[in-house]
A = this chain, B = another copy of it.
Amino acid sequence: MRLMAARKPERKRKNAYHHGNLRQALLDQAVQTIGRQGVEALTLRGVGANLRVSRTALYRHFADKRALLAAVATEGFRTLRTALLSAWDGAGRGQPGFEAMGLAYVRFAIANPAYYRVMFGGFVDQSSAHPELVAEARAAFQVLVDSIVEQQHLGLVRNDDPERLSRYVWAVVHGVAMLAIDGQLPPGHPAEQLAALAIGRLRTGIGVG
């Protein structure tokens, strides 16, 4: 027998009404669940339950599950952009900045694999449906484009179309990141090693000197 005063009817929650910022709370909870258990394990009912909120409260803030995932992806691109920018600037731009940025990209994916999968795993339709997502993804990409342009001015990168070159560079680090978080790399050959090799080869290629 436990020594406690008789419990209040159910839950206190002054008015049981507004929740502070339920939208952000739902988003944070989704990110947390995805981070811990993967995208597949995310259920709207679970998110609601963890927040002590009805199963359908979520629909006041997101049209459906895909909209929630799109919002997660949007946050992800924002975080990625910040990471890329601070690596580029922090290493003094130029060649060291570029290499730091490449490593930062792969590290972001490794540190947030489920996050990264929401961004690139085909769970959200990239097209017109979520303009904020498209804008944020573009902004992250633009950091790379800007660095390529700057390196071209410094004579560090060949004078091809910077957007095209940037898509190539993106593909390279994206490929490394995906193989890494997908468990496709053999143990003992850590992802950072492949990332370092990739960033080196990126500049001079795999051909003979």
Residues of A within 8 A of B (CB): 38, 117, 120-122, 125-127, 137, 155-158, 160, 164-165, 167-176, 178-179, 181-185, 189, 194, 197-198, 201-209
Contacts and interface: CB of A to CB of B under 8 A. Distances in A.
A155 to B, nearest CB: 6
Question: Quick one: which of A127, A164, A181, A207 has the most chain B CB within 10 A?
Answer: A207
Given A172-B172, A175-B173, A158 B207 contact: yes
A126 B183 contact: yes
Contact of A182 (B38, B126, B205, B207): B126
A185 B167 contact: yes
Give this chain's copy count. Answer: 2
Contact of A175 (B160, B171, B201, B209): B171
Nearest to A38: B122
A176 B156 CA distance: 23
Contacts of A168: 194, 197-198, 201, 206
Given A205-B202, A207-B158, A126 B184 contact: yes
Given A121-B121, A122-B117, A175-B172, A158 B208 contact: yes
A200 to B, nearest CB: 9
A165 B184 CA distance: 15
A121 to B, nearest CB: 6
A179 B170 contact: yes
Nearest to A181: B122
Given A117-B121, A158-B208, 6 more contacts: A125-B183, A126-B184, A171-B179, A175-B175, A204-B205, A205-B205
Identify the 4 closest CB pairs spanning chains A and B, nearest first: A175-B175, A171-B175, A205-B205, A174-B175
